[in-house]
Each structure stands twice: as C-alpha cells, then as structure tokens.
Structure 1
Amino acid sequence: MKQLTESPRFKITLLLISMTLFCLSLSVFRYYISETKVFFFLNWNLFLAWIPLALSSFLVAFTIRSKISLSLIIVVWILFFPNSPYILTDLFHLKVRSTIPIWYDLIVILSYAWTGLVCGFISLNDIEKRLSEYCQGTVVNGIVISFLFMSSFGVYLGRFLRWNSWDILNNPFGLFNDIVVRFIYPLEYTKTWGVTILMGVLLNFMYFTFKLVKNNNERIVQPENINNL
C-alpha cells in the first residue's frame, strides 16, 4: 500500500483528481453566484478528456500481449484523444458578462483547459511508452507527431463542424464525407488546414516541452545523481 501511494503514477492521478475537483468547484460557485449554467458544459468536456487517460492507464496497468487488442485500444484512444486539447478552444466562449467578471471566467476556462491538456499529454506519454516496446525511437516520435496533428484535425472537426467522438458510430458516413472532401479538395478548405497545421505545431511544441521537463526531472531524482550531489 505504501509503495502504491508513493508511486509517481498515484501522485499524478491524485493531482489530476484534485485539479478536476477544483474545476468543478469553480463552475458550481459560478452557478451559485450567477444562477446560470453557462460553463457547465466544461464538466462534460473534461469528462471526455479523462477517457484517453483511462484507456492508456489500462494499458499501463495490464500487460496486453496481443498486438491486435493493443491496436484496437489505441484506435479507440485516438478517437477520444482530441477531447483533451479541445478545451483550449473553449476560450472562444470568453466574453464580458454582467453577472460574473471576465477574469473569473478566464480562470474557469483555463483551469479546465489545463487539466484536460495534462490528462491528454500523460495518456500520450503512456501510449508512446507502449509503442516503444515494438518500434524504434525515431519511428515512435514520428507516430507521436502524427497523433498530435490528427488530434488538431479532430479539434477542428469538433469546434467548427460540431462533430464529436461518438459520431463515428452515430453518423459515420456524414463524418467520413466531411473528412474525405477536405483531403480531395484541400485548397477549398484553407481554414481546415490552417487550424490543423498551426494547432498541430503548437501541440507538438507543448507536448515535447512537457516530455523534456518530465524526463529532466526523472534524471535529477535518480539515486546515482543524488549521490553525486
């Protein structure tokens, strides 16, 4: 039990739960003051952002030797992964309102966005570690980069075309049509590719910064490094 509570995974999970409760308390307090449910949808968005982390945590906790099963889980994971950075675009809802100061709403949205983004980056790091068991480092990096650009494309589909992860089952043909037409006629959808490319670059910078800081901290706390201090 002590080993569990002292593990880095337990600590980061506990931190994310605390961050989620903080977000919830902000939205509840906002409702109490304004008596409006303007930002209650952020709770659903954050729930969706937790799903890829739950899937990757399953892969970390259990050894799945079947490549087919592992591939299926990763496919489901990539369908939900865009929900993590998606909350960043909820900044579109930020505007002056008479009941609540804009600085409070800014903190509300940023709190949800940061929590969702951290959930996503940790889950991506989990997937990266599993893929490294089967592929070389350069190949894994290429896959991770492509996942982040796919995620930014998913964010575009959700924010501007109002598709969501469930529509792969609810309306697969409509979703497929909106995706394919943008690949066939890319010059007619400059907004699509502008959002996808620029947000993809941003997410790559953010993730690899996150990963660099994480790896640097892990090297610092290694016993051999401590003995050399």
Structure 2
Amino acid sequence: MPIPLATLALPQIRQRLNLILLLGASLALSVVLIAFRVFFTQQITFAFLLWNLFLAFIPFGLSTMLGLSAGRLKARVLLPVGLVWLLFFPNAPYILTDLFHLERRVSIPYWYDLALILSCAWNGLMLAYASLIDMQTLVARRLGTGAGWAFATVALLLSSFGIYLGRYLRFNSWDVVTNPLTLFFDIVSRLLHPFSHPSTWGVTLLYGVFLVLGYATVRLLGRMGEESI
C-alpha cells in the first residue's frame, strides 16, 4: 500500500543537515586533494574532476529539493523535475570510471593519484545513492514499496547505460538538447541491434548489477544501524 504523504519531522531535517555536512566534508577533501595536486605539479591533469563532482551534485540537489517539499508539490511539478533528475543522475556514478585515468606519473606519487580519484569516485557513488534514496522514498510514498524498489533498480540500470554513453560515446547530459538526433540514433541502433554492440550491454549489465548490489547493501546497512539504536 502507498505510504501517506507527510511533512518532514524535525529529526528528518536534522538527519538531512547532518548528511549535507558529511557529504560537504567529503567533497571538500576531494577539492583539497585536487587543488594541492595542481599547486604541487603545476599541472591541471585532474582538474576536470571538479566539474564531474559538480555534475554529480546536481541530482542530489534536485532530490533534496523534492524531498523537502514532497508534501506540497503536485505531480505536474514532480514529473518534469524527476525527468531532469533522471537525465543528470548518471553523472554521479559515472565518476567511478575516472579510475581509467590512473597511471604512474613522475610528477607525483602513484598512491596520491589513487587516493584522489578514489575520493572523487566515492563521493560520486555516495551522492548517487543518497539522491536515489530520496527519489525511491517519493515513489514509495505514492505507489508503494515495491514500486519504489522497481524505480530504484530501473534508475540504476539506466544510469549504467548512461555511463556507457558518456564514457565510450562521449555524450553529455545536455546532448539531449544540443545533439538529440545523433544521441537518438546511437541509442536506437543499440536497441535494435544489441548483438552488434556487445560492449554496450556488457557495460550496462555489469555496472548495473554492481550499482544495484551496492545500493541494496547501503540500504540494508542503514536499516541495521537504525534497529541497533
């Protein structure tokens, strides 16, 4: 049965603020690591990760806005904002693939670059999961728990497909507006001829399963923590 809508209670607002502070501290660590690397090496090799982190924060910002005003927004507002959220959502877990850029460089220790990229990848993944929890909660309140989990699973699988489009075909979220025909053609081609594009579905399924299992683990750990208090 759908869960009745209700305004956020004070403990929920406090939890939201604590989450924002914790994510802010983690993002600050990534920014400091990137800034120090630029200062130390006089190179902007990983400065692009700042932009990637910004893009990863957008879906979390949108879901936070929706979550805090869920009891007041109508479906005609929730739907378009939710579609924008889904469009930007893959940018968050996408940072995991920035590990492809890890290689030994003479200008800085290998372990430093590993810590830097892992920090950014972790933040992208946590922003994705935190954002998805918000959206799953919204769906569950209206349509029930089963629909909420179905939505979360589909969103993660679609984000994996988005990761492929971004990493291998080099599309961006805004290509939906600036380059829609090419994007549409490449997507339809892979849907109509799946066996001609094995890497597309390999990346989508493998990353999708990984993200779904990780998300389910995070949700379970959260419930175990609540029950033990």
User: Does TM-score exceed 0.5, indicating one fold?
Assistant: yes
**Is structure 2 residue 207 aligned with structure 1 residue 199?**
yes
Question: Is there any run of 5+ residues in structure 2 with no aligned partner, and where?
Answer: 1-9
DSSP-derived class of the 2:45 partner: coil
Matching residue of 1:216: 224
* 1:24-77 superposed Cα distances (whole Å, 9 cap, x missing partner): 100111111111000000000000000000000001111344212111111110
* 1:175-212 superposed Cα distances (whole Å, 9 cap, x missing partner): 11111110000000000000000000000010010111
Whether the 8 Å CA contact 1:4–1:10 is kept in 2: the answer is: no
* 1:89-146 superposed Cα distances (whole Å, 9 cap, x missing partner): 0000000111011110000000001011111101100001100111122222112111
1:5–1:32 CA distance, 2 compared to 1 (3 A): farther
1:148–1:34 CA distance, 2 compared to 1 (3 A): same
2:74 to 66, 69, 74: 66
1:54 to 58, 61, 66: 61
1:154 to 148, 162, 185: 162
Whether the 8 Å CA contact 2:139–2:147 is kept in 1: the answer is: no
1:167 to 167, 171, 175: 175
Matching residue of 2:21: 14
The one-letter code matched in structure 1 to 2:137 is: K
Distance, in Å, in 1 between the alignment partners of 2:26 and 2:126 is 10
Give the aligned length.
219
Identity fraction in percent: 42
1:158–1:103 CA distance, 2 compared to 1 (3 A): same
The one-letter code matched in structure 1 to 2:178 is: N
Runs of 4+ displaced beyond 3 Å: 3-6
Distance, in Å, in 1 between the alignment partners of 2:37 and 2:152 is 37
Whose relative contact order is higher, 1 or 2, with alpha carbons under 8 Å and at least 6 apart? 2
